[in-house]
Every structure is written in C-alpha cells, then in structure tokens.
Amino acid sequence: MENKDINLFDYTLDLIKDVEGDEILKKILHIFAMILYQNFDEKTLSNFNNNVKTLKMKIVDSCENAKNAIAYYNNETNEIAISKHIQPYDIFHELFHMASRKRNGNNIYSGLEFITLDDLGNMGNTLTEGYTDKMTKKYIPEYNPQYIYEMLISNALDKIIGEKNMEKIYLTGNTDLLYNILAKYLGDKDFCRFMYFTDSLKTSVIVPPIFYNNTDDQKRIKNTMRKVYELLLKLFANIYKQDDNFEEKYDDFKIYLDSLSTDLDAIIATINFSLKDFSITYKKDKDKGVI
Ligand SMILES: [Zn+2]
C-alpha cells in the first residue's frame, strides 16, 4: 500500500470516529468515506464532512418512521435506520442521501430536493432519488437500483448539464443552482411542469411494489415520462441553441432520448416479471411484520 492510501485510510477513519452506531455499519461507512475521497475533492464533500460529525446509524427490526421502507435516512435528524433484512449494498444509497444533505435552519437541501420543515413542503424528491441511485450504482457497482425510471431522468440531466457538474450540484446540495438552470432555460411555467411531472412519478419498485404491476399504472408512468422527455428536449435545445454544430448535437440528443424510451419499455418488461416474485416476498415479509 502506498503512503497516500494509508493516509486516506487513516484520514477517513478519523473523520467517522464520532459516529454512533453498530461496528459493522461503521465499517461500511468507512468504505464509503474512502470511495468519496478517492473521487471528489474536500470542498465537494463539505456536507459529508459536516453530517458525519453528528450521524447516528442503527439496525432495526423495521423502520417505523418510513412506511414500507426497509432502509431510511432521516433528513431532519441525520439518522440512518437499516432493517436487518436488507441487502448490505442498500446501505450505500442511504449514505449518499446523508452525504448530499445540507441543513440551513428549517430548510433542508437533500441532493436535488428542497424540503422546508415550516410547512412540511418538498419538491424534487424524484430527482434526488433517481440521482442517489445513479451515484450508488456508479460508485458501488454491486448495488441493485430501486428507482430505475428516475435514473433515466438522472442520466439525461448528466448528458445536458454535464456529469461532473451534476455530481457536484448533488453532493453539495446546491439545489438552488439546478433549479435556477432549469427555470432559466425552460421558463418558469415549464420548470414547474417539469418538477410536477417528475415528482408525480414516485415509482420506486419497493414502495409499494404491487401497484406497479398493473397496466394502468404503467400507462401513467409512460405518459408522464413522455412529457418529461419533451421538457428535457426543450431544456437541451435552449442551452445549446447558440452552439455552432447545434443541429447535429440536437439530433444526437434526440436519438439518446429515444434510446431511453426503449430502456423504459425494457424496464417495464423486467419489472413486470420480477415484481411477481417480489410481491410474494413482500406479502410474506408483511405477514411476518418485517415491513
Ligand atoms: Zn432514497
């Protein structure tokens, strides 16, 4: 091991020393901290650095705070609760929520989501769940994503705004910047439509899976995704319209969006299949009181 690696090992171990939690969870957190420091600079990791100082992690029989959820990060209290029945890699999804959360009084910026505790309002939940899964899958390849439709939107945003920029916006909780970019290039009305359509998706395959096994809901998802793609195309056009080779770029992006629609069809086909098994497990677990 090189010196640099030993330093990174010790440095990140020191960062997490005050975290309250089970030893195994702290080991996973340590791996997570090393992955972050291997890929991002200190400034981008300021939320992670602040949050680990007061983070609490616990293993529970079920997560009473989140209906049907089996792993949960509480944005308000900075606590992670993990059911003992989940896949270990799912913990990394919750850790990314923690690493991308910034609290400023009663306002919480969670990755790409804005939450206000004053009136319990929030927007951008779909964007943040999709992006959290994108990050988790990218940096922890063994992870099995749950928000697959939402990830398609994350991939398109990476393509338009730039992956490096998007990852930085996400980790620093710079929701304001993203929303400003969207509002500037879509206009206020279409920005609101974009947020409304994306937030109405709420398609996580685990919450609650049974509903996504019916064709009406699949139709609803496809229609909403079509509207989202139209807005993404408009966003792309307005950002790049001054470019010399705009036509070419626009056509490429259109082809890319079409490929996402094909992905969506493929995803719906798999979900239909795997949800059958999942519904059985879900029902069994529910009967056992696990979820
Ligand atoms: Zn999540």
User: What pLDDT digit, counting tens, does each position of 182-201 carry?
Assistant: 999 999 999 999 999 998 88
Give distance in angstroms: CA of 32 to centre of ligand 1.
16
Give distance in angstroms: CA of 172 to centre of ligand 1.
17
Give distance in angstroms: CA of 136 to centre of ligand 1.
10
Give distance in angstroms: CA of 246 to centre of ligand 1.
36
The count of domains in the chain is 1
Per residue in 57-110, pLDDT (tens digit) is: 988 876 555 544 578 899 999 999 888 777 788 899 999 999 999 999 999 999
Q: Mean pLDDT score of the chain, rounded to an integer?
A: 85
Residue numbers of the domain that contains 64: 3-288
Strand partners, 101: 110
Give distance in angstroms: CA of 94 to centre of ligand 1.
6
Give distance in angstroms: CA of 4 to centre of ligand 1.
32
Predicted confidence at residue 85, as pLDDT, reads: 72
Asked if 234 and 250 touch (Cβ cutoff 8 Å), the reply is no
Give distance in angstroms: CA of 216 to centre of ligand 1.
25
Give distance in angstroms: CA of 258 to centre of ligand 1.
27
Asked if 252 and 189 touch (Cβ cutoff 8 Å), the reply is no
Give distance in angstroms: CA of 243 to centre of ligand 1.
36
Sheet holding 56-60, edge to edge: 20-21, 56-60, 79-83, 71-74
pTM of the model: 0.87
Main-chain phi, psi angles of 2, to 5 degrees: -75, 160
Measure CA 187 to chain center.
Answer: 25
